[in-house]
Amino acid sequence: MSMAQTQNHELSKSQAQWMYQKAVEIRKFENRVHDLFSEGRLPGFVHLYAGEEAVAVGVCAHLDENDSITSTHRGHGHCIAKGCELDGMMAELFGKATGLCKGKGGSMHIADVSKGMLGANGIVGGGFPLACGSALTAKIKQTGAVTVCFFGDGANNEGTFHEGINLAAIWQLPVVFVAENNGYAEATPFHYASSCTNIADRAAAYNIPSVIVNGKDMIAVYDAAKEAVERARRGEGPTLIECRTYRNYGHFEGDQQKYKAEEERRNHLNEQDAITMFRSYLLDANVMNESEMDNIDQQVEEAVEKAIMFAEQSPYPSEDDLYTDVYVSY
Amino acid sequence: MARQITFSEAVREAMQIAMRENPDVILMGEDIAGGADVDHLFEDEAWGGVMGVTKGLAKEFGRTRVLDTPISEAAYIGAAVAAGATALRPIAELMFNDFIGCCLDQVMNQGAKLRYMFGGKAQVPITIRTMHGAGYRSAAQHSQSLYAMFTHIPGIKVVVPATPYDAKGLLLASIEDNDPVIFFEDKTLYNMRGEVPEGKYTIPLGQADIKRAGNDITIVAIGKQVHTAMEAAEQLSRRGVEVEVVDPRSLSPLDEDTILDSVAKTSRLIVIDEANPRCSAATDISALVADKGFDLLDAPIKMITGPHTPVPFSPVLEDAYLPNSQKVIKVVSELIGDESILAV
């Protein structure tokens, strides 16, 4: 386990553009979902990914459509980074027939298997065994595909964390375990709930490499993920990456976040904002200029509004759909 | 005479046929080969499953397709779920159904629900084989029959075979099914012999079998209790009472028509289920007939089940726990109001 340092290198322009666009898509999508929820226009409950964009994007930058990810209840960011369409995502959140899951999954179960997005998951720690299974398929069928298992700091105290990483390690499965340590499992601080100082420390118990990165730093995540994904692809087994990050919103929408200190929150929203930091990096490194990024901002804003319109204008499923996609014999 | 093999051999033969036919069929479980990575065994197996059901499969198909797992049910049952959702067709062995507590989330919330939650864009074609049943002197944590728990959960199919013939045909159908199937094998039936054709055949899930025809009373029995019903039926036949024994073979889907047709013929129903009585397969089948077949009945529905206790260890207690033919005959005598049939 080591604390990763950002390496001095340059991203290709097209890669940088993709990463910037995906990060902005996540931010704007989540900010609008926040608005829609506050306005009472969305059913159910939602867990927003805003603030953690650098993790999903920095990792998924190394994946293609044959690769898979398992996700969490905070899954919108993973979906977007793995290439899910905004229209279908938004429609799913509205419970519409045009949603990615025909309105049957909702925010917590949003998935697009054709894109290798094996589902957000309503169960904390639910993804570890699933990631092993997807990676087992890749290993047995020798597809060369990698599976990334995103999980939060809450999940690192679930039994499946131990079982899943152990299984991936003994079978040398092509999995990358990505901890999104945002400091709070629901309303409980990480240091209270976990006996370890770092999630990454636990990797030693499974004899797999691990690294801690600043999860707000897109490049740091990108570098760590590159190494881990390549290692998995070479058949050298799993890696655990702990990304230190922060969620801009509460655990769920409506959470008053009384457990967060005001100064901490301000600091994360301003000085340590992942997208602002990435913008600075791209400018300093002369990869993209202000107007190119502003253009992307503009396009994404329009795309998100279009997605909302698409979702609102889409039909609800018919009552008959209750009985499809499952055998019903009673 | 047609070929006779044991229940255990029938289960193994089904897996062997499926594995020969389809390279995507793999086996996962604890010590299903045994002795993984033990040098002196070379590629030989140490066990072939705790009851020897998977014996020989690692030798034939290799340890890449017959995977010994750690004692880590959540990990490997969950891995089977996603391996199924991605491209394989795994058969996972959960050694005893009592261990479901260690991996229930992966079955109930993941495997059972992915297809529906994802709007039909995923399938989970896995079979979980698991041992159940009392009578093996294995006490409270290794003797339960938990099929009702899974019958309650949509998205899972539940199969409980009673004979070697049914075991083979139903297991082959389960493996081919694109939904998760939990396949219950009664540990006390493994050595039971019966006629089983060679080669491949399937028995559709959701198709009950009339194990014995009769006009006087219908007994729906589950798993091993089919044999209790048959034993009672033979004795009752000598006393002039003809029992129809219906084996649902799968609880989900449930062949309602065959059950209701039989009750239409006999007007009386007993359900034998060795599991605990509350919220059970017995109550479920009784409710079905009370709801859809009330007019067919001439007498109250009776259930013969285990008591609402854990399965005890002491042989004396365990025998008392289980249904038997004497208990059945007693209930039949009450139902038809004829105590004379109790006389030997």
Nearest to A133 among B83, B105, B116 (CB): B83
Which residue in chain A is spatially nearest to B87 when comparing CA positions? A137
CA neighbor of B135 nearest in space, from B264, B299, B314, B4: B314
> What's the CA dihedral at A182, A135, B72, B131 to 10 degrees?
130
Nearest to B72 among A102, A138, A166 (CB): A166
Q: Which residues of A touch B76 (CB under 8 A)?
A: 129, 132, 167
Residues in CB range of B273: below 8 A, 6 or more apart: B145, B221, B222, B225, B280, B281, B282, B303, B304, B305, B306, B323
pLDDT tens figures, B84-119: 999 999 999 999 999 999 999 999 999 999 999 999
List, in order of start, the domains of chain B with CATH numbers: 4-195 (3.40.50.970), 209-338 (3.40.50.920)
**CB B118, CB A111: distance < 8 Å:** yes
Amino acid at A8: N
Average pLDDT over residues B69-96: 97
Cα of A28 to nearest chain B Cα, Å = 24
Domain boundaries, chain A: 2-191+217-309
CB–CB contact B118 A113 (8 Å) = yes
Strands B66-68 and B25-29: parallel
Residues in CB range of A234: below 8 A, 6 or more apart: none
Instruction: Give rounded-to-5 percent helix, strand, coil for chain A.
Output: 50, 10, 40
Nearest to A114 among B109, B121, B253 (CB): B121
Which residue in chain B is spatially nearest to A107 when comparing CA positions? B117
Interface probe, candidates B114, B256, B283, chain A, greatest A C-beta count within 10 A: B114
Q: Could you report how far apart the first and last alpha carbons of chain A are, in Å?
A: 54
Q: How far is CA A325 from the centre of its chain?
A: 26
Residue B28: φ, ψ to 5°: -135, 140
Interface probe, candidates B73, B110, B252, B288, chain A, greatest A C-beta count within 10 A: B110
Q: Cite the active site residues of B.
A: 142
pLDDT by residue for chain A (330 residues), tens digit each? 455 555 556 789 999 999 999 999 999 999 999 999 999 999 988 999 999 999 999 999 999 999 999 999 999 999 999 999 999 999 999 999 999 999 999 999 999 999 999 999 999 999 999 999 999 999 999 999 999 999 999 999 999 999 999 999 999 999 999 999 999 999 999 999 999 999 999 999 999 999 999 999 999 999 999 999 999 999 999 999 999 999 999 999 989 999 999 999 999 999 999 999 999 999 999 999 999 999 999 999 999 999 999 999 999 999 999 999 999 876
CB–CB contact B110 A123 (8 Å) = yes
- CA-to-CA separations, B286 to A87, B67, B219, B269, in angstroms, rounded: 48, 41, 11, 8
Q: Which CATH number fits domain A2-191+217-309: 3.40.50.970, 3.40.50.1220, 3.30.590.10, 3.40.50.410?
A: 3.40.50.970
ipTM of model: 0.89
Looking at the whole model, is its pTM more than 0.90? yes
